[in-house]
A and B are shown apart, each in its own frame.
Chain A
Amino acid sequence: MDLIGALLTQGLQMALVLVAAPLLTGFVRKVKARLQRRRGPSILQPYRDLFRLLRKEVVLADNASWLFRVTPYLIFAVTWVAAALVPTFASGLMFSWTADLIAIIALLGSARFFLALAGLDVGTSFGGIGSSREVMIASLAEPAMLLIVFTLALVAGSTQLSTVAEFMASPEVGLRVSVGLAMIALIMVAIAENGRIPVDNPATHLELTMVHEAMVLEYSGRHLAMIELAGSMKLLLYLSLLACLFLPWGLAAADMGLGGHAVGLASYLGKLGGGAIALAVFEMVVAKMRVFRVSEFLSAALMLGLLATLLLFLSRSL
Chain B
Amino acid sequence: MSPMTVAMSCVAALLAVAVLAVAIAPRPGASKAVYGASLIASSIAGALALIHLAGGTPATVTLPLGLPWLGAHFRLDALAALFLFVVNLGAASASLYAFGYGAHEPAPGRVLPFFPAFLAGMNLVVLADDAFTFLLCWEFMSLVSWALVMAHHRVEANVRAGYVYLVMASFGTLALLLAFGLLAGPDGTYAFADLRGGVRTPLVNTLVLTLVLIGAGSKAGLVPLHVWLPLAHPAAPSHVSALMSGVMTKVAVYGFVRVAFDLLGGTDWWQSMIVLFIGGITAVLGVLYALMQHDLKRLLAYHTVENIGIIYIGLGLALAFQANGMNAAAALALTAALFHVFNHSLFKSLLFFGAGAVLTATGQRDMERLGGLIGRMPYTSFAFLVGCVAISALPPLNGFASEWLTFQAILQSPDLPQWGLKFMVPAVGGLLALSAALAAACFVKAFGITFLGRPRSEAAGAAAEVDRFSLAAMFGLAGLCLLAGILPGIVIDALAPVTDLLVGERMPAQTDIAWLSIVPIAEARSSYNGLLVFVFVAFSASFAAYIIHRFASHAVRRAPAWDCGFPAPGAPIQYRAQYTAGSFAQPIRRVFGTLVFHARERVEMPPPGDLGPARLHVELRDLVWDALYSPLAGIVNASAERLNHFQFLTIRRYLGLVFLVLVGLLLVLAIWI
Docked complex Cα distance between A78 and B539 (Å): 10
Q: Which residues of B contact A140 (CB under 8 A)?
A: 437, 591
Expressed in whole angstroms, the Cα–Cα distance for A218 and B564 within the complex equals: 13
Give A12 Cβ to nearest chain B Cβ, in Å: 16
Q: Contact mask B341-378 → A, CB, 8 Å, 1/0?
A: 00000000000000000000000000000011011001
CB contact under 8 A between A103 and B395, given known A124-B563, A313-B425: yes
Give the Cβ gap from B405 to chain A, nearest Cβ, in Å.
Answer: 10
- Interface range for A: 35 or more
CB-contacts of B437-485 with A (<8 A): 437-438, 440-441, 443-445, 447-449, 452-454
Q: Is B541 a contact partner of A292 (Cβ separation < 8 A)?
A: no
A106–B530 alpha-carbon span in the complex (Å): 12
**How far apart sit A153 and B586, CA to CA, in the bound complex (Å)?**
35
1/0 contact trace for A80-122 toward B, CB 8 Å?
1100000000000001011110110011011011001101111
> Cβ of B2 < 8 Å from any Cβ of A?
no
Q: What band does the interface of chain B fall in when counting residues whose beta carbon is under 8 Å from A?
A: 35 or more
Contact of A99 among B413, B454, B529 (CB under 8 A): B529
Known contacts A123-B371, A138-B441, A314-B422, A113 near B540 by CB under 8 Å:
no
Which of chain A's residues has its CB closest to B537's CB?
A: A77
B525-A67 in contact (CB<8A)? no
In the complex, per-residue mask of B539-550: 1 if CB is within 8 Å of any chain A CB, else 0? 111011100100
Contacts of B560 in A (CB 8 A): 61-62
Q: Is A312 an interface residue (CB 8 A)?
A: yes
A314 to chain B, nearest CB (A): 6
Cα distance, A316 to B545, chains bound together (Å): 47
Q: B577 an interface residue at 8 Å Cβ cutoff?
A: yes
A129 at interface by CB-CB < 8 Å: yes
A134 to B559, CA, bound (A): 26
Distance to closest chain B CB from A84 (angstroms): 8
Residue-wise, chain B 569-601 has the 8 Å CB interface mask toward A (1 for contact) of 100000101110001111110110000000000
Interface string of B618-632 (1 = CB under 8 A from A): 000000000000000
Contact call B556/A150, Cβ cutoff below 8 A = no
Chain A residue, CB-CB nearest to B552: A54
> In this complex, what residue of A is CB-closest to B556?
A58
* Option from A106, A123, A135, A295 in Cβ contact (under 8 Å) with B372: A123
Q: A120 contacts which of B393, B430, B444 (Cβ < 8 Å)? A: B444
Is A226 an interface residue when CB atoms closer than 8 A count as contact? yes
Judge whether A63 and B561 touch: CB under 8 Å.
yes
Chain A 132-161 near chain B by CB (<8 Å), digits 1 or 0: 110110111111001100100110011110
- The smallest C-beta distance from B388 to any residue of chain A, in angstroms, reads 8
A121-B453 in contact (CB<8A): yes
B residues less than 8 Å from A117 (CB atoms): 444, 447-448, 452
A98, B400: Cβ atoms closer than 8 Å: no
> In the bound complex, how far is the Cα of B524 from the Cα of A24, in angstroms?
32
Contact B555 A58 (CB under 8 A): yes
Which residues of A sit under 8 angstroms from B375, Cβ to Cβ? 63, 65
Shortest beta-carbon distance from B619 to chain A in Å: 19
Chain B: minimal CB distance from A186 (Å): 15
A97 to chain B, nearest CB (A): 5
The answer to the question of B189 belonging to the interface, with a C-beta cut-off of 8 Å to chain A, is: no
Residues of A within 8 A of B394 (CB): 106, 109-110, 113
The 11 sampled A-B contact pairs (Cβ below 8 Å) are A59-B558, A66-B374, A100-B527, A113-B440, A121-B453, A123-B372, A124-B564, A135-B445, A139-B440, A143-B434, A313-B425
Sample of 13 further A-B pairs with CB below 8 A, known A58-B557, A125-B564 = A66-B378, A73-B545, A98-B536, A100-B526, A120-B448, A123-B371, A133-B587, A146-B436, A150-B407, A150-B426, A221-B555, A309-B429, A314-B422
Interface residues, chain A, with chain B CB atoms under 8 Å away: 54-63, 65-67, 73-74, 76-78, 80-81, 95, 97-100, 102-103, 106-107, 109-110, 112-113, 116-117, 119-129, 131-133, 135-136, 138-143, 146-147, 150, 153-154, 157-160, 163, 218, 221-222, 226, 291-292, 295, 302, 305-306, 309-310, 312-314, 316
